[in-house]
Amino acid sequence: MLATYMVAVTATTMCALHPVFASISLAGALAAAAAIEGRSVLGPLRWQLPFLCLVCLANPLFSHRGDTLLAQWGAISIHLESVVFGLCMGMLLLASLLWLWLAGRLLSLDRLLSLGSGIMPTVGLMASMVMRLVPQIVSRGSRVGAVRAACSAAGGSKGAVRDGARVSGILLSWSLEDSLERSDAMRARGWRAGAQRTQYLPWSLSLRDVVALVLLIAWAALDAFLEWVACSQWQFYPVMPHLKVWWGYFPHVALVVLPLLFALVDRAKWTHARRVSCR
């Protein structure tokens, strides 16, 4: 359910290049991140906000389209349409990055592997091995570099490029040797030797979950259709049309505000339970 929601809200955010939808997506992502993660959201915002400002400022300098002239310095002209387009692109990028960051924080590795292991066992195995081997290779690289630096018989440092090539060769031979051992161990345990093997799943799919999943997919499809209608009638160049109050924005508002509502309800339950226990 959570993975489906994250895919739906991220996809609808990325595909709606519209001022209202981009503003709603960014506001919802900021509210959800602040309610769920608290001050931890300041970490990614430290590099995302300057990136947003860069996108907003770079587009008017390189794109001179539009009919509404705001300022001009020599051959450089800044138009209102280019400023709004850059602002929408920046908000869209920042909202997408925030939703992806929230998905990485909420969806643990075991949940992702359990979702894909039954349908795509090979892809799930490859993903789990990559997530395990990348930190292992980094740790081994640090160990190899420390041993070479401490061993005087290694000849000392011969330059960053040559030292990096030497460490990479050692890691490559080490990884190839481990790959042979892993393949033999998997073959000995009967990996893909016959019919699909059963697996233990700590989560069960109930009828209520199925109904909620169907409603979520239907709501996301309605939101995507309304976004397509709004984006097909909107244009940045040469002149932007006037924005009007429209009921079609409500499904997107309801979709992005769901994490905030769940976080507030969960916080209210914990506060009530704490008050009851303190009596």
pLDDT score at 138: 80
Closest CA to 205 of 143, 119, 273, 115: 115
Closest CA to 19 of 81, 72, 65, 66: 81
- CB contact at 8 A, 182 and 133: no
The answer for residues whose C-beta is within 8 angstroms of residue 219's C-beta and 6 or more apart is 251, 254, 255
pLDDT score at 117: 58
**Alpha-carbon separation of residue 170 from 117, 138, 141, 148, 231 (angstroms):** 32, 12, 9, 11, 54
**Alpha-carbon separation of residue 78 from 62, 75, 134, 224 (angstroms):** 9, 10, 46, 32
| CA separation for the pair 188, 15 (Å, rounded) | 47
| CA separation for the pair 166, 164 (Å, rounded) | 5
Express each pLDDT in 110-122 by its tens digit. Answer: 666 666 656 666 6
pLDDT score at 223: 93
pLDDT score at 154: 54
Gyration radius from the chain CA atoms = 26
**Alpha-carbon separation of residue 138 from 33, 143, 164 (angstroms):** 30, 9, 13
Cis peptide before 238 (omega within 30 of 0): yes
pLDDT score at 105: 80
CA angle 40, 100, 19 (to 5 degrees): 100
Question: In which residue ranges of the chain is pLDDT below 70?
Answer: 59-61, 63-64, 66, 109-124, 127-128, 131, 152-161, 191-203, 279
pLDDT score at 112: 66
Spell out the domain ranges in the chain.
2-111+234-278, 119-188
Q: Could you report how far apart the first and last alpha carbons of the chain are, in Å? A: 36
pLDDT score at 116: 60
Distance of CA 212 to the CA centre of its chain: 23
Output the DSSP codes for 173-237.
Answer: HHHHHHHHHHHHHHHHTTTTSSSPPP---S----HHHHHHHHHHHHHHHHHHHHHHHHHHT---S
